[in-house]
């Protein structure tokens, strides 16, 4: 989800730069609203953990890790390629179960709302299919302690 919001924000910045050079309006009002919406989603998720799925060569037991950006000593873009990770296992998810990685509306669901406000919320507050990340077990949920390259 972070990559998607970052990409949309960068495309908006690129379009703004091209508009300044070409003196042409590239983005209409609805497109600008969509970019602003993705920017808002990105700000909601900023400062929180980045969910990652680590697969092994045998493809059997993936690791789901939540990396907190505030503890990085380098940019998260540097985590490309093979790495070694020391981690603590939080939970084992058995075969047949699944977990959702990024839930966009999690913060909205956790708000303290009165009864009328809860009734006014949309019934289906799930991620759209295009951005839904679901991982099926068996898998481990871990907290990374150190990542080495």
- Tell me which DSSP letter residue 138 carries: S
109 vs 112: CA distance, rounded Å = 8
Q: Contact, 87 vs 100, CB < 8 A?
A: no
16 vs 12: CA distance, rounded Å = 6
pLDDT of residue 65: 73
Instruction: Give the tens place of pLDDT for each residue, 54-91.
Output: 777 777 777 777 777 777 777 766 766 777 778 888 88
Does pLDDT of 115 surpass 80?
yes
User: What secondary structure does DSSP assign to 46-102, as a single string?
Assistant: TTSEEEEEE--TT-SS-EEEEEEGGG-SS-GGG--S--EEEEEEEEEEPTT-EEES-
Question: Do 64 and 113 belong to one domain?
Answer: yes
Confidence of residue 128 (pLDDT cuts 50, 70, 90): low
- Percentage of residues in the chain with pLDDT exceeding 70? 79
41 vs 15: CA distance, rounded Å = 20
Question: Do 13 and 76 belong to one domain?
Answer: no
Span 31-52, average pLDDT: 72
Span 128-132, average pLDDT: 67
Question: Do 1 and 24 belong to one domain?
Answer: yes
Q: Please state the domain count of the chain.
A: 2
113 vs 117: CA distance, rounded Å = 6
pLDDT of residue 105: 65
Question: Do 20 and 77 belong to one domain?
Answer: no
Span 40-58, average pLDDT: 69
Confidence of residue 11 (pLDDT cuts 50, 70, 90): confident
């Amino acid at each position: 989800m972070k990559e998607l919001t970052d990409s949309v924000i960068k495309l908006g910045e690129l379009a703004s730069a091209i508009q300044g050079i070409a003196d042409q309006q590239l983005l209409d009002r609805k497109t600008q609203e969509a970019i602003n919406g993705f920017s808002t989603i990105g700000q909601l998720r900023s400062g929180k953990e980045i969910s990652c799925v680590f697969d092994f060569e045998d493809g059997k037991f993936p690791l789901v890790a939540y990396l907190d950006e505030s503890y990085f000593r380098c940019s998260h873009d540097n985590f490309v390629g093979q790495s070694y990770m020391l981690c603590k296992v939080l939970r084992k998810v058995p075969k047949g179960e699944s977990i959702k990685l990024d839930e966009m509306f999690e913060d909205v669901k956790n708000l303290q709302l009165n009864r009328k406000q809860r009734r006014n919320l949309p019934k289906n507050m799930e991620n759209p299919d295009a951005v839904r990340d679901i991982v099926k077990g068996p898998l481990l949920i871990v907290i990374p302690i150190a990542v080495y390259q």
